[in-house]
């Protein structure tokens, strides 16, 4: 079990020495080895557990980690980073990965919060790696918003702990104990705690009412950090929502549905129009990420666990790949979509990026196409068993309407990128090609029947 923490510790230590970026990339990519090991060797203790859910999320996050480490081989050339800044990025990437791993594998609400705090503080310093002038300002903005979100999560955890302390004692902090003994807790106090923690988690992922801060920060950061935000940090946050919502389902399912649907629809409404007005790739990808995390939360609380986890895995691979592709697309003209898919000597580059752009809006055979089919089926099944059938069906149609607006925006961007007459020669490094290939292979593997069977069995 301890092996899982060795790669981030090594990354942190080696960041203090002069080291070849390729060697550092290999060390960073080694995070996948213990992730594969724990997938087949489950472990449960008072503080940590490697059940199917946490092992799956950690494995997907590890693939993202490999992609990010590959992109850092060419990042200094592409982004004009000196050795000191590269070392800083890797140093805090090690701390970030340590915190994320703790959160994903945690069986204790307090330990889960500690992991999120590690990840939050480390990303503040990684934002400062960017050579952009507003990077320091955005780092402070992230620290303030992150502090608000993490404080809400902590306060909610304290209330949820208090709701079960009189019956479960010290085990009142355990996710598994709370779920197994949900009938023995103070339901009112737990619901208040869950509501406050969920709002903190949603704010940390850019949900309403703070929709713009995440896109501002990712725009000011280097491309690999945007990939970390969208593919790994959100995974660590979302697993907390997954575990707590399973307990809330046993406490009061109708309240969970009402809260999640209402919050989700308001967020989608705001994000869809902000996304429609997006002028550059990073804001487009950032706001789209909020949309997908909203869908994942709604699918999950609707009982569509397979749909939520398939969508989660697809998003965790699609979005980092697109963020890292932003460095390729924007190398000649930032804040502009026109002609960005032109000017490549290697014809496979625009093809791979096109597959990512079209796949993330759920065009078949994207994994998101299947996840949304199963997800909306789960929502309709919940509506059929509800006393508010027409209200919930109306919610489904509203969500579909907002998604169609987002779909139109991405198709419009793709057409601008592909059919503009402006062409400028673009440089693509071998490490970036390998990065794109790894993400596309990972997305292809999600479509295998064996993958569907494994994901379906995670919550059984």
Q: What is the pLDDT of residues 188-218, one digit of tens each?
A: 999 999 999 999 999 999 888 777 788 888 8
> 117 CB contacts (<8 Å, ≥6 apart)?
99, 150
The CA distances from residue 337 to 278, 387, 433, in Å, are: 10, 46, 21
Q: What percent of the chain has pLDDT over 90?
A: 52
Distance of CA 34 to the CA centre of its chain: 20
Full-model pTM: 0.94
- Tokens, residue 54: 């946490």
**What pLDDT, on the 0 to 100 scale, is given for residue 1?**
63
Q: Which residue has the tokens 């965790």?
A: 316
pLDDT grade for 95, boundaries at 50, 70 and 90: very high
Give the mean pLDDT of 23-41.
Answer: 85
* Cα dist from 13 to 5, 31, 87, 125, whole Å: 13, 15, 10, 17
DSSP string, 59-124: HHHHHHHHHHHHHHHHHHHHHT--HHHHHHHHHHHHHHHHHHHHHHHBSBHHHHHHHHHHHHHHHH
Domain count within the chain: 1
Least confident range of 17-21, 82-86, 335-339: 17-21
Give the structural domain span for 194: 2-457
- For residue 105, the Cα-to-chain-centroid distance in whole angstroms is 16
Q: What is the DSSP letter of 169?
A: G
User: What is the average per-residue pLDDT within 75-100?
Assistant: 88
Confidence check: pLDDT of 277 > 90 = no
Amino acid 201: pLDDT: 94
HSE-up of residue 229 (Cα within 13 Å, Cβ side)? 34
Paired residues of 108 in beta bridges: 174
% helix, strand, coil for the chain, step of 5: 80, 0, 20
- The pLDDT-based confidence of 15 (bands split at 50, 70, 90) is confident
pLDDT digits (tens, 9 = 90+) for 284-313: 999 999 999 999 999 999 999 999 999 999
Distance CA 217, CA 153 (A): 21
């Amino acid at each position: 079990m301890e092996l899982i923490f060795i790669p981030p510790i090594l990354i942190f230590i080696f960041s203090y020495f002069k080291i070849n970026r390729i060697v550092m990339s290999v060390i960073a990519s080694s995070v996948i080895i213990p992730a594969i090991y724990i997938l087949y060797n489950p472990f449960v203790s008072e503080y940590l557990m490697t059940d199917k859910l946490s092992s799956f999320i950690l494995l997907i996050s590890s693939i993202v980690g490999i992609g990010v480490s590959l992109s850092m081989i060419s990042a200094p050339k592409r982004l004009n980073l000196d050795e000191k800044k590269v070392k800083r990025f890797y140093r805090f990437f090690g701390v970030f990965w340590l915190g994320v791993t703790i959160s994903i594998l945690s069986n204790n609400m307090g330990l889960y919060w500690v992991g999120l705090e590690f990840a939050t503080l480390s990303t503040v310093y990684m934002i400062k790696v960017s050579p952009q002038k507003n990077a320091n300002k955005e780092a402070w903005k992230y620290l303030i918003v992150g502090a608000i979100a993490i404080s809400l999560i902590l306060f909610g955890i304290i209330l949820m702990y208090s709701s079960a302390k009189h019956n479960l004692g010290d085990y009142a902090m355990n996710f598994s104990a709370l779920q197994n003994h949900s009938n023995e807790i103070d339901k009112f106090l737990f619901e208040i705690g869950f509501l406050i923690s969920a709002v903190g988690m949603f704010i940390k992922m850019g949900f309403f009412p703070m929709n713009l801060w995440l896109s501002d920060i990712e725009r000011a950061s280097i491309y690999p950090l945007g990939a970390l935000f969208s593919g790994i940090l959100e995974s660590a946050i979302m697993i907390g929502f997954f575990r707590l919502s399973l307990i809330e389902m046993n406490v009061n399912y109708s309240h969970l549905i009402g809260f999640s649907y209402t919050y989700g629809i308001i967020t989608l409404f705001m994000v869809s129009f902000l996304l429609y007005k997006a002028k550059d790739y990073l804001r487009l990808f950032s706001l789209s990420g909020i949309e997908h995390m909203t869908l994942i939360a709604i699918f999950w609380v609707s009982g569509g666990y397979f749909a939520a986890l398939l969508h989660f895995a697809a998003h965790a691979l699609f979005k980092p790949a697109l963020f890292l592709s932003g460095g390729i697309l924007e190398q000649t003209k930032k804040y502009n979509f026109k002609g960005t898919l032109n000017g490549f000597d290697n014809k496979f580059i625009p093809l791979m990026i096109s597959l990512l752009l079209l796949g993330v809006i759920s065009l078949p055979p994207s994994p998101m196409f299947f996840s949304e089919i199963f997800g909306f089926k789960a929502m309709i099944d919940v509506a059929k068993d509800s006393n508010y059938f027409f209200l919930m069906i109306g919610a489904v149609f509203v969500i579909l309407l907002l998604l169609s607006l987002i779909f139109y925006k991405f198709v419009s961007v793709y057409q601008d990128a592909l059919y503009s007459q402006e062409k400028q020669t673009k440089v693509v490094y071998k490490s970036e090609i390998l990065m794109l290939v790894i993400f596309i292979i990972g997305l292809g593997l999600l479509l295998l029947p064996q993958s569907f069977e494994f994901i379906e069995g995670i919550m059984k």
